[in-house]
């Protein structure tokens, strides 16, 4: 990535949806040159174009979970089990250890509570030694997050994390609508 690539990325971050012509005119380059550079950046996976959702315009609540995990193998299994979870926004690992952070969401207070304590809870996974939860009261800078609505397929028998909604007390007591990836989900995912 060079200075021209950085200018293109910066322009897109500031302006959002624009045409190649608008980028080219603003940066004093040709449209074809901009297209080739964007294609190269995307092919190398230096950038992606992804629709993010403004969480401030939803009823969603966010939580940051910090977990100490028993070993690297267990951490990888946990990451694999939640990569297709519609409620998992970001997952991070720390340098030199087996700590993991996950930014998750719940459609409302009851759902978030269920996600933090029910069958699908990351905190209750085998191999999680201890965890802390921080409820996010407000997003201060950039409220647009990659909420994975496309994973809310409502067609699976079990959740991607292998939790069974039908045997979850939170689901049975109507505190949780279930996993949006399963056919047992009882509402519209977003907004």
Q: What is the pLDDT of residues 35-80, one digit of tens each?
A: 999 999 999 999 988 889 999 998 899 999 999 999 999 999 999 9
How do the domains of the chain map onto residue ranges? 3-43, 54-148
Query: Average pLDDT of the chain?
Result: 91
- Give the 3-state secondary structure of residue 101: strand
Place of tokens 């990888």: 76
| DSSP-derived 3-state class of residue 15 | helix
Supply the pLDDT for residue 190.
62
CATH class of 54-148: alpha beta
For residues 135 and 55, give the distance between their C-alpha atoms in angstroms, rounded to a whole number: 14
**Confidence grade of residue 191 (pLDDT, cut at 50, 70, 90):** low
**Can you read off the two tokens belonging to residue 124?**
């209750």
Average pLDDT over residues 124-151: 92
CATH number assigned to the domain covering 3-43: 1.10.10
Average pLDDT over residues 155-176: 91
Whether the domain at 3-43 and the domain at 54-148 fall into the same CATH topology: no
For 118, the 3-state DSSP assignment is coil
Contact between 82 and 113 under an 8 Å Cβ cutoff? The reply is no
Q: What is the largest CA-CA distance in the chain?
A: 61
- For 72, residues 6+ apart whose C-beta sits below 8 A from its C-beta are 98
């Amino acid at each position: 990535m060079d200075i021209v690539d950085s200018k293109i990325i910066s322009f897109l971050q500031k302006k959002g949806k624009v045409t190649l012509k608008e980028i080219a005119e603003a940066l004093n380059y040709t449209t074809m040159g901009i297209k080739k550079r964007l294609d190269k950046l995307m092919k190398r996976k230096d950038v992606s174009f992804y629709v993010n959702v403004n969480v401030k315009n939803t009823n969603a609540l966010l939580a940051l979970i910090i977990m100490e995990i028993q070993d690297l193998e267990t951490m990888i299994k946990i990451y694999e089990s939640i990569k297709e979870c519609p409620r998992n926004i970001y997952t991070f690992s720390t340098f030199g250890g087996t700590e993991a952070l996950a930014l998750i969401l719940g459609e409302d207070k009851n759902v978030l509570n269920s996600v933090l304590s029910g069958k699908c809870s990351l905190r209750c996974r085998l191999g999680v030694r201890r965890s802390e939860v921080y409820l996010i009261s407000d997003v201060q800078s950039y409220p647009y997050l990659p909420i994975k609505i496309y994973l809310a397929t409502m067609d699976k028998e079990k959740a991607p994390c292998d939790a069974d909604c039908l045997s979850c007390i939170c689901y049975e007591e109507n505190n949780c609508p279930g996993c949006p990836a399963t056919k047992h989900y009882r509402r519209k995912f977003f907004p």
